[in-house]
Structure 1
Amino acid sequence: MPKALRLYVRYVEVVNRKIGRAVMYMIFLMMAVLLYSSLSKTFFVPSLWTLEIAQFLMVAYFLLGGPYSLQLDDHVRMDLIYGKWSDRTKTLVDVVTVLFLIFYLFWLFYGGSSSTQYAVEYHERSASAWRPYMWPIKVVMTFAILMMLLQAIAVFIKDIAKLKGETL
């Protein structure tokens, strides 16, 4: 594999590993928000913002953790037939399926970018009673989709290298 591709894979995986490891702790932030929500509903005046903040945190947690999950090969896979194949057959199938993933993520990123641009330009707000601005979560979502796209390309490069008998 060319040195540029090796550097690309290394850089993308380092960035996604750091983001993924940091985002793992976001679960505690979500738990704190939901605990506050429960306590405020029970003992005080219910908050308007807690449910929506918890939803935003969950979206960020899920999407920012996705590239790290893909990197670790911890994503869900139907193993009815796949587990019985040879390593070479698995890698060939992975090369084909990751191309579909890259295609999907490209269009998802394109749509996310356009939606984020709209949210920033027109000061889009949620339709809830709290009415927060939507651009912060849309920026996070679009960034996470971009990182997933870059990780999928890195997985594709690693699979091609594996087919050639190299390891990255």
Structure 2
Amino acid sequence: MQALLTLSRAIDALTERVGKATVWLVLIMTVISALNAFVRYAFDYSSNGWLEIQWYLFSAIFLLSAGYTLMRNEHVRIDVVSGHFSPRAHAWIDIIGTLFFLAPMAVAVLYLSWPIFVNAYLTNEHSSNAGGLIVWPVRLLVPVGFGLLILQGVSELIKRIAFLQGLIADPNAKVQGPSAEEQLAEAIKKQRGEAV
């Protein structure tokens, strides 16, 4: 079990890096969106490419952050019902949900999305919009995002089993600490301090 917990920590470290990098995409997307709106209203000019880049970034944020959200226990739960369960019952629900719902769905999406990405890459597919972007990078986000989600699902499964064996603390316990937004604000402050 210790080897599996080591694997789980490695997956968590990867997920943490991807999640924290993805947070920066929110800032980039916001800046692009604001500039795009300013140029559209101030100069009566718009570009499909700039609109599509916003969509691509939104897709990246959503898909690449799924595993991070799972790791941080921030996914949607029905707290009115689950709030009455013991930590052990939560662990069992998570194990069953991972094995019978999360894993089959994520593997199916990964399996079905890979050929779509390969086809888009081989044909150098472009958006049908005038001035649109190439499509394969955003098509690649689907299998990558679901691949990361599968990895994190494995990590969460390992943690739930280890918890049931009494080897680790409750993985469903909410971590008290700064939110992702607070962490981003702190990183921006550090960047500014280094630049000065």
Q: TM-score, normalised by structure 2?
A: 0.81
Alignment of 1:18-167 (within 5 A): 18-44=17-43, 45-99=45-99, 100-167=101-168
What CA distance in whole angstroms lies between the structure 1 residues aligned with 2:119 and 2:88? Answer: 45
What CA distance in whole angstroms lies between the structure 2 residues aligned with 1:34 and 1:131? Answer: 16
Match of 2:15 in 1: 16
SS in 2 for 1:130: coil
Structure 1 range deviating more: 23-32 or 127-136: 127-136
Shift of 1:2: 4.0
Letter of the 2:109 counterpart: L
Letter of the 1:140 counterpart: L
Shift of 1:141: 2.6
Q: Which runs of 5+ in 1 are unaligned?
A: none
The CA RMSD over aligned residues, in Å, is 1.4
What CA distance in whole angstroms lies between the structure 2 residues aligned with 1:17 and 1:67? Answer: 9
What CA distance in whole angstroms lies between the structure 2 residues aligned with 1:63 and 1:35? Answer: 23
User: Contact between 1:20 and 1:64, CA under 8 Å: does it hold in 2?
Assistant: yes
What CA distance in whole angstroms lies between the structure 2 residues aligned with 1:6 and 1:163? Answer: 13
Structure 1 range deviating more: 71-80 or 119-128: 119-128
What percentage of residue pairs aligned between the two structures are identical?
Answer: 26
What CA distance in whole angstroms lies between the structure 1 residues aligned with 2:22 and 2:16? Answer: 10
Letter of the 1:94 counterpart: D
Match of 2:191 in 1: none
Shift of 1:144: 1.5
Shift of 1:7: 2.3
What CA distance in whole angstroms lies between the structure 1 residues aligned with 2:148 and 2:24? Answer: 19
Count, aligned residues: 167
Moved over 6 A (4+): none
User: Contact between 1:40 and 1:47, CA under 8 Å: does it hold in 2?
Assistant: no
